[in-house]
């Protein structure tokens, strides 16, 4: 096991730790025990993660005398909807989970979001622990308390802010991700450098390839730095009244592309974020906010990592630039009908812009094909 990094999410009475280490799952019992009133937890996972890692988690809990029951839901984005949400809530009730009990969300972003939301409504709110198993979940979705499910009208439209009591990010679990899933999560890692820390982006330019190839120390540093940045922003603005929106760098473009591609295998969320970050820098440059060097550098790094950069890298037909712009207008972050973007004055210098001219966005999209 590597030395554990601990990052505190400073939210007053709801503050909690994010712990990061290789092999941390084997300490899950000792980590979770102080949060329990009785030595019993309910774990919700997906079938893929469950087959790979559930026995190890349950053994670690048993070693600390903690009994556990587990539910494995089908893997994939389609799980994040009412039917599986109902299955999850009713299973937790069948397990007789009480107000002071703890639910463990053990999986990637889909499981973390769905189980966190289930915990937020079960008996008007029970505690939960995130044990994120994907890079995307470790650096982003497990931290900050956004929980929810998708609606036919759009992604994440039903949900609640419900902070976990603890997050355990085991870097070793990233070893079983497919290279594509790993790189998709890496899109969110790059986002942190781009939005607020040029030195971190430079570090990624140097260390990204080693990190992708499995360098554990590099992975731990990248997760730690990402979580530090997220924790700091969430502590400043828990419910996204202001600065938390910076975490949506690249996401307005991404959400339109995800909608156009059906939220499936054609474009993974982190892939869309990476493409979206490149487009957000291109848009910033066209608006005269940053030099041409900035978008070129973003694109060069994504290319060097073997990631999708241009719209033509997405397999299959895409709708026209005009239709994509229209899809952006349906993004839930639109306020008073104006397009809100996260733009940048340079790498690491992002800000919220709430009135971006649609014709410039359209020109960026047309040139991205």
Q: How far is the CB of 49 from ligand GLY (least distance, A)?
A: 20
Residue number with CB closer to ligand GLY (16 or 97) = 16
Q: How far is the CB of 141 from ligand GLY (least distance, A)?
A: 6
d(CA 316, CA 65): 52
Residue number with CB closer to ligand GLY (66 or 131) = 131
Backbone angles phi, psi at 237, to 5 degrees: -155, 75
Per the CB < 8 A criterion, the answer to whether 245 and 342 are in contact is: yes
d(CA 49, CA 46): 6
Task: Choose which of 50, 116, 132, 144 interacts with ligand GLY (CB under 6 A).
Answer: 144
Residue number with CB closer to ligand GLY (57 or 233) = 233
Contact region with ligand GLY (CB under 6 A), list: 9-17, 84-92, 115-123, 139-147: 139-147
DSSP H/E element including 67: strand 67-73
Residue number with CB closer to ligand GLY (250 or 278) = 250
Q: Extract the tokens encoding 39.
A: 């030595």
190-229 footprint of ligand GLY as x/- string (CB under 6 A): ----------------------------------------
Q: How far is the CB of 123 from ligand GLY (least distance, A)?
A: 25
Per the CB < 8 A criterion, the answer to whether 7 and 227 are in contact is: yes
Which positions ≥6 away from 151 have C-beta within 8 Å?
81, 157, 158
Taking the CB of residue 326, how many other CB atoms lie within 10 A of it? 13
Active site (catalytic) residues: 124, 146, 188, 230, 240, 244, 248, 251, 255, 269
Per the CB < 8 A criterion, the answer to whether 138 and 177 are in contact is: no
Taking the CB of residue 297, how many other CB atoms lie within 10 A of it? 19
297 binds ligand GLY (CB under 6 A): no
146 binds ligand GLY (CB under 6 A): yes
Which positions ≥6 away from 102 have C-beta within 8 Å?
32, 35, 36, 41, 42, 126, 127, 128, 129, 165
Q: How far is the CB of 188 from ligand GLY (least distance, A)?
A: 8
Footprint of ligand GLY on 12-51 (CB under 6 A)? none
Size of the site for ligand GLY (CB under 6 A): 5
Longest CA pairwise span in the chain (Å) = 62
Residue number with CB closer to ligand GLY (144 or 272) = 144
In angstroms, the Cα distances linking 224 to 15, 138, 139, 192, 280 are 17, 9, 8, 11, 25
**Residue in 122, 342, 120, 121 with CA at minimum distance from that of residue 253:** 342
247 binds ligand GLY (CB under 6 A): yes
Q: How far is the CB of 349 from ligand GLY (least distance, A)?
A: 19
Residue number with CB closer to ligand GLY (50 or 145) = 145
244 binds ligand GLY (CB under 6 A): yes
Q: How far is the CB of 240 from ligand GLY (least distance, A)?
A: 6
140 binds ligand GLY (CB under 6 A): yes
Instruction: Please calculate the CA angle 181-199-246 and round it to the nearest 5 degrees.
Output: 65
Contact region with ligand GLY (CB under 6 A), list: 140-148, 295-303, 321-329, 343-351: 140-148
Residue number with CB closer to ligand GLY (144 or 348) = 144
302 binds ligand GLY (CB under 6 A): no
Q: Cβ-closest residue to ligand GLY? A: 247
162 binds ligand GLY (CB under 6 A): no
d(CA 248, CA 119): 25
In this structure, the strands spanning 127-132 and 16-21 are: unpaired
How is 28-65 classified by DSSP, letter by letter? HHHHHGGG-SSSEEEEEEEHHHIIIIIHHHHHHHHHTT
238 binds ligand GLY (CB under 6 A): no
Q: How far is the CB of 163 from ligand GLY (least distance, A)?
A: 11
Tell me which residues touch ligand GLY (CB under 6 A): 140, 144, 146, 244, 247
């Amino acid at each position: 096991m590597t030395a554990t990094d601990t990052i505190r999410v400073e939210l007053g009475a709801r503050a909690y730790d994010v712990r990061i280490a290789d092999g941390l799952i084997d300490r899950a019992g000792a980590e979770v025990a102080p949060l329990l009133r009785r030595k019993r937890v309910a774990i919700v996972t997906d079938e893929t993660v469950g087959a790979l890692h559930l026995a190890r988690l349950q053994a670690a809990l048993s070693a600390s005398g903690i009994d556990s029951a587990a539910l494995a839901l089908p893997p994939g984005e389609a799980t994040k909807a009412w039917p599986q949400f109902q299955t999850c809530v009713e299973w937790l009730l069948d397990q007789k989970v009480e107000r002071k009990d703890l639910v463990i969300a053990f999986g990637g972003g889909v499981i973390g979001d769905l189980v966190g939301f289930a915990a937020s409504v079960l008996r008007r709110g029970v505690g939960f622990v995130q044990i994120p198993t994907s890079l995307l979940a470790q650096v982003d979705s497990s931290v900050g308390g956004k929980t929810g499910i998708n609606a036919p009208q759009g992604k994440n439209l039903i949900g609640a802010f419900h902070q976990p009591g603890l997050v355990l990010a085991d870097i070793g679990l990233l070893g079983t991700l497919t290279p594509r899933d790993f790189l998709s999560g890496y899109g969110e890692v790059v986002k942190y450098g781009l939005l607020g820390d040029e030195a971190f982006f430079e570090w990624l330019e140097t260390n990204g390839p080693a990190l992708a190839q499995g360098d554990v120390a590099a992975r731990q540093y990248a997760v730690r730095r990402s979580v530090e940045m997220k924790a700091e922003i969430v502590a400043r603005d828990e419910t996204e009244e202001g600065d938390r929106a910076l975490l949506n760098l690249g996401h307005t473009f991404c959400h339109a592309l995800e909608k156009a591609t059906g939220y499936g295998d054609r474009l993974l969320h982190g892939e869309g974020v990476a493409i979206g970050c490149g487009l957000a820098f291109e848009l910033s440059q066209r608006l005269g906010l940053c030099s041409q060097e900035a978008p070129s550098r973003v694109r060069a790094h994504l290319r060097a990592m073997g990631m999708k950069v241009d719209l033509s890298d997405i397999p299959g037909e895409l709708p026209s630039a005009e239709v994509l712009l229209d899809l952006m207008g349906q993004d839930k972050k639109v306020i008073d009908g104006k397009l809100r973007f996260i733009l940048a004055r340079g790498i690491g210098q992002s800000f919220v812009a709430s009135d971006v001219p649609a014709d410039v966005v359209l020109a960026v999209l047309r040139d991205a094909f």
